[in-house]
């Protein structure tokens, strides 16, 4: 089962793959998702980054035991072919739903603000066509795209300047004004925006310097943590507690705070530029699903990607009620928390079956 992968990812690639996958569409809504904690949400991203760093450790430990295998292959080695393939199948569905979730929420946003008079089908087709082009470039292209996406979208941080000027610094205090229930509620909803680092389980075999992967993945996590801290911090300063819990896309409203003599609605530019962040996230999940699909059937064929994209397209245009969609996405998200704990479970099995595995 051990496959010799072509190692293409440098440590910088790892850093930005982790970083950019964390910042997808989730960051747009994070102040609302953390709103259970009111103004005390500001420093939650740092807490999340800490949890993610701790969570990363068992993942990379497991990977280090199987340096040439991704999680799909590890599943099959440790759990046997049948159970392994079944788990892999679930993972593929999980990742596909994440892609659908991210694309549909972004497209909904685009339709409601940038293209209110058009049907969204043709833009979705164009979006997916480019997605295929990106994913077909392989993990190396996605990693390089992530680097570009980071630097192209980074100047948007400057747009928070006006919100900071107009905001109220005293909103930060008192720092820990929340109950345990509120903290739990906010963590449960908010940590979903911090997912993406777990995909290192799948691209680890492609990393050249695998020993330094933890260091650079951690830097990636903390860069995203700081960017989210800026988002929550500025939101806390700029919005009232009511606004925090009721404004869905707080980041776009922060952009609107800017006042220029030549431009009125800079949030539309910001939102359309966000496509880079959406691509860097969705492409990585789709790539992982594609890799998993290859372990199930026809490993040498190119057809998997097209099947996945066509199924995503069908799901996106199916006339399903918003309520049902939200329910599917929420269940999917909670299953995702299981994925975070999955490596720990596999480590236990590995320790138990160590001799068998090495034989």
Partner 1 sequence: MKIIIRTLSGKWRKKINTDKSPNPEYTLQLLQLLSDNSYDIVFQKKLTSEGIVTIIFSSSLIEKMTLQAVVLAPLSHSLHQIHQIAERMQYNQISEIENKINAGYTILYFHETKQYLALDTYSAPIRAITNTEIESTVIGPQDAFTESLETNISLIRRRIHNHYLKNESIYIGNNKQYQVSIMYVDNIVNKKLLKKLKKRLQHINPPPLLDTAVLKQLIEDNPFSPFPQYYMSVRPDTIAHYLLDGRMALLINNSQTVIICPTSFFEMFTSIEDYYNRWTTATLLRSLRFFGFFITIMITPMYISTLTFHPEILPYELLLNLQESRSKVPFPPLIEVLFIELIIEVLREAGSRMPAKVGQTIGIVGGIVIGTAAVEAGLISNILIVLVATSALLSFLPPIFLMSNTSRLVRYFFIIAAGLFGLFGQMLAFAWLITHLLRIRSLGEPYMVPLIPRKWTDLLNSVVRFPMAYLKNRMGISKSQKS
Positions in the binding site for partner 1 (CB under 8 A): 110, 114-115, 118, 122-123, 126-127, 130, 133-134, 137, 141, 144-145, 147-148, 152, 260-266, 268-269, 272-273, 275-276, 279
**Closer to partner 1 by Cβ: residue 268 or 339:** 268
**Closer to partner 1 by Cβ: residue 38 or 220:** 220
Contact in structure between 88 and 76 (CB atoms under 8 Å): yes
**Closer to partner 1 by Cβ: residue 12 or 46:** 12
Distance CA 101, CA 288 (A): 16
**Least distance from C-beta 268 to partner 1, angstroms?**
5
Contact in structure between 22 and 198 (CB atoms under 8 Å): no
**Least distance from C-beta 346 to partner 1, angstroms?**
33
**Closer to partner 1 by Cβ: residue 265 or 354:** 265
Contact in structure between 31 and 253 (CB atoms under 8 Å): no
**Closer to partner 1 by Cβ: residue 51 or 147:** 147
Structure tokens at 90: 């679930």
Nearest to 150 by CA among 11, 281, 284: 281
**Closer to partner 1 by Cβ: residue 186 or 309:** 309
**Least distance from C-beta 43 to partner 1, angstroms?**
32
81's CB contacts (< 8 A; 6+ apart) are none
**Closer to partner 1 by Cβ: residue 115 or 164:** 115
DSSP 167: S
**Least distance from C-beta 104 to partner 1, angstroms?**
15
Omega prior to 210 cis, within 30 of 0: no
**Least distance from C-beta 144 to partner 1, angstroms?**
5
Distance CA 302, CA 291 (A): 11
**Closer to partner 1 by Cβ: residue 149 or 237:** 149
Nearest-10 Cα torsion for 236, 238, 243, 248: -80
Q: Burial code of 310-336, b = ≥16 C-beta within 10 A, e = fewer?
A: eebbebbeeeeeeeebeeebeebbeeb
Distance CA 271, CA 135 (A): 23
**Least distance from C-beta 263 to partner 1, angstroms?**
6
**Closer to partner 1 by Cβ: residue 64 or 118:** 118
**Least distance from C-beta 127 to partner 1, angstroms?**
7
Distance CA 178, CA 174 (A): 10
Backbone φ and ψ of 159, nearest 5°: -70, -10
CA distances in angstroms from 155 to 51, 90, 110, 337, listed in the order given: 28, 38, 21, 32
**Least distance from C-beta 210 to partner 1, angstroms?**
20
**Least distance from C-beta 88 to partner 1, angstroms?**
28
**Least distance from C-beta 67 to partner 1, angstroms?**
25
**Closer to partner 1 by Cβ: residue 175 or 263:** 263
- State the greatest distance between any 2 C-alpha atoms of the chain, in Å, as a whole number: 71
State the Rg of the chain over Cα.
21
């Amino acid at each position: 089962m051990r496959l010799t992968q072509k190692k293409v990812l440098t440590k910088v690639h790892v850093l930005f793959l982790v970083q950019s996958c964390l910042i997808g569409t989730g960051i747009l809504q994070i102040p609302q998702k953390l709103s259970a904690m009111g103004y005390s949400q500001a420093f939650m991203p740092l807490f999340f980054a800490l949890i993610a760093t701790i969570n990363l450790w068992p993942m990379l430990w497991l990977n280090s035991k199987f340096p040439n295998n991704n999680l799909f292959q590890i599943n099959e080695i440790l759990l046997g072919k049948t159970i392994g393939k079944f788990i892999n199948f679930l993972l593929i569905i999980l990742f596909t739903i994440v892609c659908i979730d991210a694309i549909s929420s972004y497209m909904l946003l685009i339709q409601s603000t940038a293209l209110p008079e058009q049907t969204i089908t043709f833009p979705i087709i164009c979006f997916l066509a480019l997605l295929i082009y990106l994913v077909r470039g392989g993990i190396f292209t996605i990693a390089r795209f992530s680097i570009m996406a980071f630097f192209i979208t980074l100047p948007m941080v400057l747009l928070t300047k006006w919100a900071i000027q107009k905001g109220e610094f005293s909103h930060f205090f008192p720092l820990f004004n929340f109950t345990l229930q509120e903290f739990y509620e906010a963590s449960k909803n908010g940590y979903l925006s911090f997912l993406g680092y777990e995909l290192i389980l799948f691209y680890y075999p492609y990393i050249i310097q695998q020993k330094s992967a933890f260091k650079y993945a951690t830097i990636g996590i903390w860069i995203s943590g700081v960017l989210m801290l800026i988002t929550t911090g500025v939101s806390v300063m700029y919005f009232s507690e009511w606004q925090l819990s009721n404004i869905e896309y707080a980041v776009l409203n922060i952009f609107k705070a800017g006042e220029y003599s030549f431009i009125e609605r800079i949030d539309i530019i910001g939102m359309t530029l966000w496509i880079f962040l959406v691509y860097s996230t969705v492409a990585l999940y789709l790539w992982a699903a594609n890799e998993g699909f290859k372990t199930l059937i026809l490993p040498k064929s190119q057809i998997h990607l097209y099947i996945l994209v066509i199924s995503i397209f069908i799901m996106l245009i199916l006339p399903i009620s918003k309520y049902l969609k939200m329910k599917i996405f929420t269940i999917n998200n909670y299953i995702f928390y299981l994925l975070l704990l999955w490596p720990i479970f596999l480590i236990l099995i590995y320790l138990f079956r160590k001799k068998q595995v090495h034989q």
